[in-house]
Structure 1
Amino acid sequence: MKRLIFFINIISFVCITQQSQAQDLTKYVDPYIGSGGHGHVFVGASVPFGAVQLGPSNFFKGWDWCSGYNYGDSIVTGFAHMHLSGTGIGDLGDILVMPYVGEIRTDKATEKEYQKGYGAHYSHKNEKVLPGYYSVKLDGSNIQVELAATERVGFHQYQFPQNKEAHVIIDLKEGINDQSAETYIRRVDQYTLEGYRFSKGWAKEQLIFFAIRSSDSLEHFTVYEDSKLLQGDSGKGKAIKGLISFDKAPKTLKLKVGISPVSCENALANINAEIPHWDLDKVVAEAKAKWNKELSKMVINTPSEKVKRIFYTALFHTMIDPSLFNDHNGDYRGADKQVYKHAQFANYSVFSLWDTYRAVHPLYTITQPERTADMVNSMLAIYDQKGLLPQWHLEGWETGTMVGIASRQVIAEAYLKGIKGFDAERAFNAIKGTSASDTLGMMCVKTFTAIPADKERRSVAKGLEYAIGDGSIALMAKALSKQNEFEYFSKRALNYKKYFDSTTQFFRGKLDNGERAPDFNALKANNTIYAEGNAWQYLWLVPQDVKGLISLLGGEQMFNARLDTMFALETTADEKGLADLTGTIGQYAHGNEPSHHIAYLYAFGGRPWKTAETVRHIMKDMYHDQPDGIIGNEDCGQMSAWYIFSALGFYPVFPADTRYVFGSPLVEQATLKLPGGKTFTVKAAGATTQPYIQKVLLNGKAYDAAYIDHAAIMAGGTLEFIMSDKPDTDANHASKQKSSLLK
């Protein structure tokens, strides 16, 4: 039997390797893209949607180190097992492990005096990062570090210089922009350690358990509380550190580090289930195969190698988060801090929903329908445990970050796009229950009044986002034949009008006494009335009722004129104000999500060629294949998902209505691999140099609509764009397209 299992494993490994070699799309992925500038992406080893993001952490120096790593840095403090990707707030960095040689050092010291601690200098010439793999040679010590990962286990391989005293520190005090609250480690046997880290940061209560298994006997193991040596081989405190020491370093030391939200026992079980061997190359090959499997769901053809690198790196970035928050056996810790055993769905966390409802989750409905169902079930579990759907959920904790409760529209969209695997009635009840809440200004939404700016921070941003969610719920209610709910939420979806000031023609804050908030400046970024934006950017945040917005602004001609002004009107440095407002074209700010649909609104005003020009400009000028190649916070995949959709030629302006509005395809052909063996092919010959859509064919027949519906994509077939270097300004054609969007 053992011989049979051995040969099965060999055959499986060969098949995975051959599959990886047959279509190696990982060669186009450059994880450095977005690691410089303000991209804040994770750099290290992970698998798609894995709980482990194992990679280097630098000294935390503020906003551009939110992921723990910045390309412009050159000092590493260790290799942590959990990192965020693209966020504007830092956290995690848990279970920091660092090898070094020489005398014992139990602190990372300071950036200027890192030699006094266990930190090390490195250079990019000695660094290599691929999907699922990271390596670096540490200057000074000449230790070669190699890292790989499965879903819940990090694999370390260290090659030490010979005849040196060597150490590996496990520093449970350290994290990214957080504080350890209680930490624990103990030696289980000569090869195994276990412990936990309880911390307070962006996630106010985060608890992660771990187990470490070593390839070599732990010759010496000591425990410190900060720098104080403790007696015995275990310790509990606020700043516990475990130190593995060797009088003479083994040539190669391997560590397997399992993590769990539930227990040390489960962390060890995750190791046994996911990496029962000591073969680094196998772990790397399997990770590569997993990435290739996901990347190959979109196979593009373009003469530009640069576009391929940007596209596949973008697709890669959409699959770092959300991340698994469960164990191999299905156990997870709920939002109520209780343990739920053997769940029948994969539990996820890291829901950056204010960002990701716009394009990331719509992308998942095409490429990840099964995972979408599990993400919905994860959100429903949070509702069952806490009484509210998630807003910005991080490792079991609701951070309350940003505005709106966008899980409502994510769930509604999933149902409306035919995602199976969750209970629709249960989902609607969770949406309805959350929408009946009195928190976060929702009491005003229920009474059809404006959220008062002097009572609730970011009142206009909240009001507009709630209206988008309510419009999504209305569509779900209609599909479920719930007429009363459809009418109620349809009315709530029009609450955006409560904020419109006809005098200034902008959405403005309203005080509790009914007066307008004072000191209005449409150009000045305002983080108290709006959320990381100004009145110009929030003027267009009505994707659920663009027809109503056109009317509110005085008709089509005025709507188009205001769009033109939006993209032309410059801002002074003082007015711009916020670091998030990057990637500007006039008042448009591509680095911040409320702007992401605006270029596509030209199509609603009967000028689709303006959408093409603007979208093409953003793709060409704001996405590059260098470390600063993402213009702003990557935001858990949203910046990347915008590029993916736009490069295909369409975008989900209002995700819940299931339509994707045409823009300007950049790739000349893309084949989407769909469930059931179906494929959907997008063709756009000459798109590289010709930005304008002249004609559209769907399955060989003329197609006049300005959008493609989700159902048409999932049915399989061919969408062909006939491209030109000249815009199609024919009034009749534009009118037909506009009518198709405004019906």
Structure 2
Amino acid sequence: MRIPIITSVNNLFLAATVLFTGLTVTQPVFSQQKPKSSLTKYVDPFIGTGFHGHVFVGANVPFGAVQLGPTNISQGWDWCSGYHISDSTIVGFQHTHLSGTGIGDLGDISFMPTTGPVKVSKGTLKDMQSGYVSTFSHQQETARPGYYAVKLNRYNIGVQLTATQRVGFHQYTFPKSAQSNIIIDLQEGIGWDRPIKTAIRQVNDSTITGYRYSAGWAADQRIYFTAVFSKKIKNFSVYDSTAVQTGTELEARKVKGVLSFATTAGEKVFVKVGISPVSTANALANIKAELPGWNFDKTVAAADAAWNKELQKVEIKTAEESKKTIFYTALYHTLIAPSIFNDHNGDYLGTDKKVYPKASFTNLTTFSLWDTYRAANPLYTILQPQRVNDMINSMLAIYQQQGKLPMWHLMGNETNTMVGYSAVPIVVDAYLKGFKGFDAKLAYEAVKATAMRDDLGLNFVKKLGYIPADSVVESVAMGLEYAIDDWSIAQMAKKMGNTADYQYFSKRGKNYQNYFDKQTHFMRGRLSATEWRTPFSPFESRHRKDDYTEGNAWQYTWLAPQDVEGLIALQGGEQPFIKKLDSLFIAKGNMGAEASNDISGLIGQYAHGNEPSHHITYMYPYAGQPWKTAQKVRYILKNFYTNKTDGIIGNEDVGQMSSWYVFSSLGFYPLNPSNGNYVFGSPLFNEANIKLARGKSIRMVAHNNSDKNIYIQQVTLNGKSYTKSYITHADLLKGGLLVFEMGNKPNLNWGKLQQDRPYSVKP
């Protein structure tokens, strides 16, 4: 059963009660008493649940291991997170979800409250009565940071959810019923996920434990749980798929457990579910450490406070409330992952499937690195410096366990998804920015060892300087990403005084030039030193079947953010470069029937819905025309990010799409993700204040700012004229006052001089 896509549910902070048909569910009283500084009220988790946003909806805390939320019965690409706003069905409330990925997985440890005769299969869209699936109305659904509530129409049950880092907290309000049930379904998952081995056991009259091993995108995922109930367990049955078994414990592939009991009208049943990658004992210990009591409202308030703490690191001033909603929702989306993948005592499961006890760092997972290295990870170096070392240490641990840095790491598994070794610029960026909480020698060993392998076309990179198009699919995208990564290694080698490696990797950093066809002026697949792949169309994009990754030659021709000066030279100088760049935004052509759904948010052939385009609008200042960046950036901010459910123009990609918005709306962007420079664009807000480390902050003011006054006329930093069209990370962290004077016409002289332009390597 589906409903049409609707606009965002603007019920973030309703009155203290939400009236369900035939049932009143009390909301936490704190929601009426939020301090004036609260920013969670501006977050609308439903933004991105429409179109192809694929965002998570449910209860969690920043970077938490638990993402507790509803899962629809529907399957498919737009249900990668388990939820899409077009759907009105729920098959359970599951404790792990992905947010903004292009592949579906997780959906572990599913709980579903029901009434009436027990049904242990979820049912189907065509025959819902055959299973336990329920419909719901979006008008009786609430989501805000750390809290989710909904009414299950079929059962007249009110569900409220909240979470700590490693514990999901359920509150079910039942109607009067001679038989109420809670179904624990260890078979169900999302997307590619399928169970391999599952188990459940009743420990006592209030505790159930179990585990779920599954295979999918994460080939060998293992999760343990312990569930503690506020209502004594009197009847507990176990099922192998749909067949009831004797006893109160079972190990099989599709295990399910059902608690049954009588309830009075409005009776509340609470469940605390701790999860662990290591053991059921650790899952219980997580509950004892993080959620020892039963105060649901207090837990909601604590989750809200945790979100507020992070959101308050950036305070913006604007007369338009909708812009606050878009901004703080974007910032919220950047804080969902990478997610915690260890227990409260520090234990975690390594990529090698060994348990590493009491680690000295917080181990993390859900590393969508091909996406996030571009803006999300640089954003963390500003807003989450205390977490950067944990991210790097997690990556270095993965390197020690699997012999290379992660590509796309998920729940202790290397998925090898996407192209390049995109952990490298993240590690290098942290090192070059002076982070000290990891072993720098090990970090360099890791980046170099990752780059010197022979798989995934690297044997050709080392031998030829390019990857022949007939040897590996997506050879151009792969080779261009490698060049970005290798350039980063060169900068790390240089700072470490390793001249030989600096020269070697600098040369590899220019390998992007080997894909540039001087006849067509596009990056394209080559077969040999003298032969290009034919036929060739810069518009065509065949998903996973050609030389590009989710894109075409128009988009990939600009993928050299590590050496924009070199790219300008390839195009024949500044004027030809500008002319070609201008043409990107007006070019029209057919990408073909097999083009990826990820290619969205088109302006000509610029595709904002996918990451290879994200830096392109910020290239103009390198050629002395920053005002063109302002034009393009303001258009994207206004048209591709809204406060509607389809308000993200493409796949959220685990925070990258939102990180672009956060950076760009503040007025700058890390075009080169590992050289510590941020290129100015066009600040969206009249004022913004960023809280930095060590008690410092930088206040940014845009005078005379409006939808028409989009062009920077001049800039001052701490009262002194600042003529550069970029700012360094080091200068940003000093804090102070950055003032932009805005106007409705370009100042053609601002940022024009060579010494004022951004650079790849400091002259």
TM-score, structure 2 as length reference: 0.93
Determine the C-alpha separation between the residues in 2 that align with 1:505 and 1:337.
Answer: 48
Query: 2:606 is matched with which residue: 588, 606, 609?
Result: 588
Determine the C-alpha separation between the residues in 2 that align with 1:115 and 1:499.
Answer: 57
Query: 2:715 is matched with which residue: 693, 696, 706?
Result: 696
Query: 1:126 is matched with which residue: 140, 152, 171?
Result: 140
Determine the C-alpha separation between the residues in 2 that align with 1:170 and 1:516.
Answer: 57
Which residue of structure 2 aligns with residue 572 of structure 1? 590
Determine the C-alpha separation between the residues in 2 that align with 1:557 and 1:25.
Answer: 45
Determine the C-alpha separation between the residues in 1 that align with 2:759 and 2:527.
Answer: 38
1:40-51 mapped onto 2 (5 Å cutoff): 40-51=54-65
Give the Å deviation of 1:426: 1.1
- RMSD over aligned Cα, in angstroms? 1.7
Which residue of structure 2 aligns with residue 482 of structure 1? 498
Give the Å deviation of 1:570: 1.5
Determine the C-alpha separation between the residues in 2 that align with 1:717 and 1:625.
Answer: 31
Contact kept, 8 Å, 1:348 with 1:378, in 2: the verdict is yes
1:433-582 mapped onto 2 (5 Å cutoff): 433-511=449-527, 515-526=531-542, 527-572=545-590, 574=592, 577-582=595-600
Contact kept, 8 Å, 2:550 with 2:595, in 1: the verdict is no
Secondary structure of 2:674's counterpart equals: helix
Larger deviation: 566-575 or 522-531?
Answer: 566-575
Which residue of structure 2 aligns with residue 397 of structure 1? 413
For residues 477 and 18 of structure 1, do their structure 2 counterparts lie closer, same or farther at Cα, with a shift above 3 Å needed?
farther
Determine the C-alpha separation between the residues in 1 that align with 2:333 and 2:476.
Answer: 31
Query: 2:350 is matched with which residue: 316, 334, 339?
Result: 334
Give the Å deviation of 1:277: 0.4
Determine the C-alpha separation between the residues in 2 that align with 1:248 and 1:370.
Answer: 47
For residues 297 and 731 of structure 1, do their structure 2 counterparts lie closer, same or farther at Cα, with a shift above 3 Å needed?
closer
Contact kept, 8 Å, 1:180 with 1:197, in 2: the verdict is yes
Query: 1:720 is matched with which residue: 735, 739, 759?
Result: 739
Secondary structure of 1:484's counterpart equals: helix
Q: List per-residue Cα deviations over 1:106-164 (Å, max 9, x = no partner).
A: 11110222232111110011100010000001113110000000000000000000134
Q: Does the alignment pair 1:56 with 2:70?
A: yes
1:594-673 mapped onto 2 (5 Å cutoff): 594-673=612-691
Give the Å deviation of 1:573: 6.1
Give the partner amino acid of 2:622.
F
Give the Å deviation of 1:738: 3.2
Determine the C-alpha separation between the residues in 1 that align with 2:539 and 2:730.
Answer: 40
Which residue of structure 2 aligns with residue 11 of structure 1? none
Which residue of structure 2 aligns with residue 9 of structure 1? none
1:380-395 mapped onto 2 (5 Å cutoff): 380-395=396-411
Contact kept, 8 Å, 2:726 with 2:757, in 1: the verdict is no
Which residue of structure 1 aligns with residue 426 of structure 2? 410
Secondary structure of 1:557's counterpart equals: helix
Determine the C-alpha separation between the residues in 2 that align with 1:379 and 1:572.
Answer: 40
Which residue of structure 2 aligns with residue 289 of structure 1? 305
Q: List per-residue Cα deviations over 1:717-742 (Å, max 9, x = no partner).
A: 11111111111123884555337678
Q: Does the alignment pair 1:219 with 2:195?
A: no
Which residue of structure 2 aligns with residue 180 of structure 1? 195
Secondary structure of 1:235's counterpart equals: strand
Q: List per-residue Cα deviations over 1:356-389 (Å, max 9, x = no partner).
A: 0000000000011121110000000000011000
Give the partner amino acid of 2:319.
P
Which residue of structure 2 aligns with residue 116 of structure 1? 130
Q: Which runs of 5 or more structure 1 residues have no equivalent in the other structure?
A: 1-15
Determine the C-alpha separation between the residues in 2 that align with 1:443 and 1:680.
Answer: 46
Contact kept, 8 Å, 1:454 with 1:512, in 2: the verdict is no
For residues 640 and 148 of structure 1, do their structure 2 counterparts lie closer, same or farther at Cα, with a shift above 3 Å needed?
same
Determine the C-alpha separation between the residues in 1 that align with 2:120 and 2:673.
Answer: 51
Q: Does the alignment pair 1:170 with 2:184?
A: yes
The structure in which a higher percent of residues are helix is 1
1:24-423 mapped onto 2 (5 Å cutoff): 24-177=38-191, 178-248=193-263, 251-423=267-439
Contact kept, 8 Å, 1:523 with 1:575, in 2: the verdict is no
Q: Which runs of 5 or more structure 2 residues have no equivalent in the other structure?
A: 1-29
For residues 729 and 323 of structure 1, do their structure 2 counterparts lie closer, same or farther at Cα, with a shift above 3 Å needed?
same
TM-score, structure 1 as length reference: 0.96
Give the Å deviation of 1:20: 6.1
Q: List per-residue Cα deviations over 1:283-308 (Å, max 9, x = no partner).
A: 10000000000000001111111110
Contact kept, 8 Å, 1:17 with 1:286, in 2: the verdict is no
Identity of aligned residues (%): 54
Q: How many residues align?
A: 729
Determine the C-alpha separation between the residues in 2 that align with 1:474 and 1:319.
Answer: 30
Give the partner amino acid of 2:151.
K
Q: Does the alignment pair 1:681 with 2:696?
A: no
Give the partner amino acid of 1:142.
N
Q: Does the alignment pair 1:711 with 2:711?
A: no
